[in-house]
Amino acid sequence: MTEFNDKAQASYSKQDYSPKTPIEGLEIVNLRRFNDDGGAMTELGRFDGGLHKDLPGFEARQMNYSVVEPQAVKAFHLHQRQTDVWYVPPSDKMLLVLADVRKGSPTEGQIMRIVLGDGNSRLVRIPPGVAHGCKNLRASATSAIIYFVDVQFSIDDDCDEGRLPWDFFGTEVWDVEKG
């Protein structure tokens, strides 16, 4: 077995490849992307009366399209009633940061980072009480998010769109992991 010098040995570690416990109520649905010589198509969902076939109990009430400038951070959003379902096109690349701030949740305090897009097609279901935000990882192009919500946006007293500061969970949650 090869030995390392003292300096290398002191800094040596092994990456943890074991599966992480997901945030309670968070769901990821892998989608099929259909490619042919003329392009590609991804079905984001089939709905029956607003209910999404692959996300039991989720009734879509509004669908939104958002564009994020290169390297911009948009965070943190938080809802008491609303569930979000996010989709980032495979041609884009977005870091989604999620943090469970639900008092008494089995995963209270847990933070997750998920790269969306980047060649993948999947939906992420974000339950109420899970703070969420994103960073466009592309250096010179915008990235898009298409998202469904089960509560229609309102600017009156019934508004369910809350905020936490972008650095509420530390600035390092937005850093690209090195190594």
Residue 18 lies in a domain: no
Q: Which one, of 175, 177, 178, 179, lies nearest residue 73 by Cα?
A: 175
Residue 175 lies in a domain: no
Residue 179 lies in a domain: no
What is the Cβ-side half-sphere exposure of residue 18, based on CA atoms within 13 angstroms? 4
Task: Give residue 112's domain range.
Answer: 26-34+42-165
6-37 per-position pLDDT tens digit: 998 998 888 788 888 899 999 999 998 888 89
Residue 19 lies in a domain: no
66-100 per-position pLDDT tens digit: 999 999 999 999 999 999 999 999 999 999 999 99
Distance, in Å, from the CA atom of 153 to the CA atom of 140, rounded to the nearest integer, reads: 31
Residue 8 lies in a domain: no
In sequence order, which ranges of 14-74 are alpha helices (DSSP H)? none
CATH number of the domain encompassing residue 65: 2.60.120.10
> In this structure, what are the phi and psi dihedrals at residue 60, rounded to the nearest 5 degrees?
-70, 125
Residue 177 lies in a domain: no
pTM above 0.85, yes or no: yes
Both tokens of 70, joined, read: 């290169």
Residue 14 lies in a domain: no
Residue 20 lies in a domain: no
Cβ proximity of 137 and 95 under 8 Å: yes
**Residues in contact with 21: Cβ distance below 8 Å, sequence separation at least 6, in sequence order:** 107, 110
How many domains would you assign to the chain?
A: 1
Both tokens of 71, joined, read: 């390297």
* DSSP strand pairing (130-136 vs 73-78): antiparallel
CA distances from 97 to 34, 124, 132, 157 (A): 28, 12, 6, 27
